[in-house]
Amino acid sequence: MRIQNRFYALELDDKTGRILSFRNSKREFLLKSTALFQIQLLGEGARYTRLCSDAAAKVKWERDKEENFQIRFEKVDGAELDAVVSVRAPAGQPFVFFSLAIDNRTGDLVEWIDFPRLIVPDDLVGNGGKSRLFWPGMEGCVIENASLRSGDWIGYKEIGVQSTGYSGTYPGPCTMQFLSYYSEDGGMYFAAHDPDSNLKSVEFNKEDDGIRLEFKLLPGTADRHIRYSYDMVLGVCGDSWESAAEIYRDFVEQSGMPLPPKLRDNPRIPEWMEESPVVILYPVRGTHDTGDMTPNLYFPYENAEPYLDRLAEELDSKIMALPMHWEGTAPWAPPYVWPPFGGEALFRKFVEDLHRKGHLVGVYCSGIGWTVHSYLHPEYETEQRYRKDRMEETICRTPDGSIVQSKIIGYPIRDGYDMCPENPKVAEIVSDEIRKIADAGVDYAQYFDQNLGGNSCLCYGRDHGHPPVPGKWQGDAMIRIFEETRRKLDAVGSRMVIGCELAAAEPFIRYLPFNDLRYQINFFYGKPVPAYAFVFHEYINNFMGNQNCISAAVNHAENPDNLLYRVAYSFAAGDMLTVVLGDQGNILWDWGCSWDVPLPDQEKVKTLIRNLNAMRRGPGRDYLRRGRMQQPYPVLGTKDFPFRLKKEWKDWVHHFPSVLSSRWTLEDGREGQILVNYFDCEQTVSVQAGGREIYRVDRSGNECLCTEGRIRIPPLDSVLVIF
């Protein structure tokens, strides 16, 4: 079967339904064909069976319209299971739409459906080719070397049993539902146009001489009949990740996906978010994520105030203090966090002091896990409470019904389990803890740290009131927790903002409007790109976050300007800025960094943040707070900034331009492009805007016409280009 129009040519195997070829006018996108779908069944005793469309007893083709047809697969792999694949290829469109329905008579449960299956060539630039792959994990990543993704921590893992941290689980650490494979010869767009945000895996995996692109649906039902309620979309796009993101953004806004009002119209967005505070993170016990938890120089809480006052003056900004290890239970010991370490009185006085100075206070928590024992505070354990309150009923189960240690955070931080959000006890505990934080006047609580993207871990419990396989019910249960939390905060008149680790995945944006982005995780895989901001910036602004794990990726001595780059990246993406403090109020590289390592250049970092935040609060305010991101006009004349990874990551070097750029449009028709110079020397570049007149605006609002498009950018500063 061959389908062709002016955009693409698609060929399917008449016997198996395999996708044999998909191409535009310049190139073939697929390396080879593979089975159109696979289905994994889960039986009693955690017995798995995998069925493949290639092994159907009979395959029939039916056509009802010129552009619509169905492929019927009878007794797939000899099992009592039939499937129907529907294909629509509307004339004149660059997309083909696939969906699938199953009649499962096996008596086993469908754990996941992998459909449609595609393998692209590994001709990425890191392998000597000219292609790149976009993956929406952790807000967006451009993959140039697929072999970087290996090992226990960041390597590909098939979805199932438990969530595995930074992965392609959607909605969760993977916040959106589209992939793109592209080069100068054009791109392939591959997406789930699913406004209901069903649980799925959105992944890529090196496979022999190619890269397999994966969309696995976890239907989360014991029903015999399963039907995709949405389309899987295969199409052509331009030669950049932005061209694919623009297609996906159009889908999101036309689909009815439940988004909040845009920021300018959202009554739940507090005024302080308009003022772009710089977030200041520091521990009150110990020196970083793990290890000794002796109270440090920032405890009692008021001890931090001189350092915070100094930073607020040096950065010329409102600040949000975000103490860590503040919980009175134990650091990173969910679900209970209250009262604060040292008692409520000390903490409340600190909040009142900062509010009196016009600043803000936030806190980190650790999500909906259950802590049995803390290694960071050995006196803290909840084994007795766990048994007394029958908390075992709330814990996620594996397919064989067992309870296992949490994989998100375990040793050396805590022994504990992941909680299933379906149990009403979880919503009650979480919402009560959050209300206690709000009662103390706190402005922001990242309660759902470790709930990556806002979702829960996978659960196969058979007596929890949900289907015994993971699915959309998990996201729905999390939404009930968010709504119960909102109800309790509204009841006491609190406007405290709630957030999670990473950006909030699509169905949770309306509840989690400010989050710790963690885009830096993508340095392990490829180049972070602000695809999340491209799609959602008009609805949500996040903050740069604690930058944890970057010290595992980068030798700071070899990359002394890497923090400057990361600050510039966050600013250009429209996010609020963050610094992490070490000893004596000094700025560190990241949260996981030891206090005794050589420090970043303090004055350079402070100068860059001060200048950038002045632009964010000044001439760039409308664009960087509420703008709609567009693909930037080309910037010529930049230098190369090599970002070298450690030997554990194959000494790979990411190459970035010395001037970062982002372009924004506003609803009133204004258009601006931000240029960021994170080098400590002046740079002059030109913007190729199609011959339009270009005006340069500095952070003080001074405007001048640029001749021949040449734009001067002072060191450690930014300019706004308007057209």
Per-residue model confidence as pLDDT tens digits over 222-242: 999 999 999 999 999 999 999
Instruction: Name 22's bridge partners.
Output: 10
Diameter of the chain by CA atoms? 76
User: Torsion angle of alpha carbons 550, 552, 555, 556, nearest 10°?
Assistant: 40
Spatial distance between the Cα atoms of 227 and 241, rounded to a whole number of angstroms: 30
Per DSSP (E only), the strands in 287-402 are 319-324, 360-364, 369-374
Give the DSSP letter string of 398-410: -TTS-----SSS-
Q: Residue 609 is encoded by which pair of tokens? A: 């943040």
Q: How confident is the model at residue 651 (pLDDT cuts 50, 70, 90)?
A: confident
CB-based contacts of 112: which residues, under 8 Å, 6+ apart? 39, 40, 159, 160, 201, 216, 217, 218, 219
Spatial distance between the Cα atoms of 11 and 273, rounded to a whole number of angstroms: 51
Spatial distance between the Cα atoms of 602 and 606, rounded to a whole number of angstroms: 6
Percentage above 70 pLDDT, the chain? 100
Which amino acid, one-letter code, is at 469? V
Spatial distance between the Cα atoms of 369 and 469, rounded to a whole number of angstroms: 19
Strand 95-104 relative to strand 109-114: parallel, antiparallel, unpaired?
unpaired
CB-based contacts of 102: which residues, under 8 Å, 6+ apart? 39, 81, 82, 83, 110, 113, 225, 226, 227
Q: Is the pLDDT of residue 108 over 90?
A: yes
Percentage above 90 pLDDT, the chain? 93
For residue range 57-73, list pLDDT tens digits in order.
Answer: 999 999 887 779 999 99
- Eight-state DSSP code of residue 437: H
Q: For 466, list phi and psi in degrees, rounded to 5.
A: -120, 165
The structure tokens 């198996």 sit at 16
Inter-residue contact 187 to 243 (CB < 8 Å): yes
Strand 186-193 relative to strand 178-183: parallel, antiparallel, unpaired?
antiparallel
Name which of 48, 26, 29, 28 is nearest 39 in CA terms. 48
Q: Is the pLDDT of residue 245 over 80?
A: yes
The model's pTM is 0.97
What mean pLDDT comes out for the span 634-643?
A: 97
Q: Give the DSSP H/E element, type plus range, for residue 12.
A: strand 9-12
Q: Give the DSSP H/E element, type plus range, for residue 432.
A: helix 424-439
Q: How confident is the model at residue 408 (pLDDT cuts 50, 70, 90)?
A: confident
Residue 154: the pLDDT is 86
For residue range 288-298, list pLDDT tens digits in order.
Answer: 889 999 999 99
Q: How confident is the model at residue 409 (pLDDT cuts 50, 70, 90)?
A: confident
Q: How confident is the model at residue 173 (pLDDT cuts 50, 70, 90)?
A: very high
The three-point CA angle 287-288-293 to 5° equals 60
Half-sphere exposure of 88 (CA within 13 A, CB side): 10
Spatial distance between the Cα atoms of 516 and 521, rounded to a whole number of angstroms: 12
Sheet arrangement for strand 683-687: 635-636, 683-687, 710-713
Q: Is the pLDDT of residue 407 over 90?
A: no
Residue 198: the pLDDT is 98
CB-based contacts of 48: which residues, under 8 Å, 6+ apart? 40, 41, 42, 111
Domains and CATH numbers, the chain: 276-628 (3.20.20.80), 630-722 (2.60.40.1180)
Spatial distance between the Cα atoms of 173 and 138, rounded to a whole number of angstroms: 6
Residue 161: the pLDDT is 80
CB-based contacts of 403: which residues, under 8 Å, 6+ apart? 392, 395, 396, 397, 417
Report CA-CA distances (Å) from 134 to 144, 522, 634: 9, 11, 20
Burial grade of 15 (CB within 10 A; 0-12, 13-18, 19 or more): exposed
Residue 163: the pLDDT is 66
Spatial distance between the Cα atoms of 66 and 525, rounded to a whole number of angstroms: 43
Spatial distance between the Cα atoms of 198 and 169, rounded to a whole number of angstroms: 11
Half-sphere exposure of 704 (CA within 13 A, CB side): 13
Average pLDDT, the chain: 96
Q: How confident is the model at residue 208 (pLDDT cuts 50, 70, 90)?
A: confident
Residue 164: the pLDDT is 67
Spatial distance between the Cα atoms of 55 and 52, rounded to a whole number of angstroms: 6
SS3 563: helix
For residue range 309-334, list pLDDT tens digits in order.
Answer: 999 999 999 999 999 999 999 999 99
Q: Which ranges of 118-231 does DSSP label H, i.e. alpha helix?
A: 151-154
Spatial distance between the Cα atoms of 605 and 293, rounded to a whole number of angstroms: 28
Spatial distance between the Cα atoms of 628 and 671, rounded to a whole number of angstroms: 9
For residue range 445-462, list pLDDT tens digits in order.
Answer: 999 999 999 999 999 999
CB-based contacts of 250: which residues, under 8 Å, 6+ apart? none
The structure tokens 């920032």 sit at 298
Spatial distance between the Cα atoms of 461 and 469, rounded to a whole number of angstroms: 8
Spatial distance between the Cα atoms of 3 and 91, rounded to a whole number of angstroms: 10
